[in-house]
Amino acid sequence: MNHINRLFAAAVLAWATTGSAVGASPTDSIPQSADTVIAPAQVPAAFPLTLSASVGARILMLRMGDSVVATYSVSVGADQHPTPTGTFTIKKLIWNPRWVPPNQPWARGKTAKEPGDPDNPMQTVKIFFKEPDYYIHGTPAVASLGEAASKGCLRMHPEEVAAVAKWVMEHGGQPKPPSWFERIRRLARREHIVHLANPVTLTIDL
Average pLDDT, the chain: 83
* pLDDT above 90: residue 1: no
Tell whether the model's pLDDT for residue 189 goes beyond 70. yes
Which alpha helices (H) appear in 100-186, and where do they start and end? Answer: 158-171, 178-186
**Is 41 within 8 Å of 120 (Cβ atoms)?**
no
Average pLDDT over residues 28-45: 39
Determine the Cα–Cα distance for residues 72 and 59; give it in Å rounded to an integer.
Answer: 5
pLDDT digits (tens, 9 = 90+) for 135-179: 999 999 999 999 999 999 999 999 999 999 999 999 999 999 999
Q: Quick one: which H or E segment has residue 127?
A: strand 123-130
**Residue 88, pLDDT above cutoff 90:** yes
Of residues 127 and 132, which shows the higher confidence score?
127
Identify which of 157, 197, 168, 170 has the alpha carbon closest to the alpha carbon of residue 73. Answer: 157
CATH number of the domain residue 137 falls in? 2.40.440.10
**Per-residue pLDDT at 47:** 75
List, in sequence order, every residue forming a beta bridge with 54; answer none if it has no partner. 59, 205
Determine the structural domain holding residue 177 and report its residue range: 3-205
Count of the separate structural domains present in the chain: 1
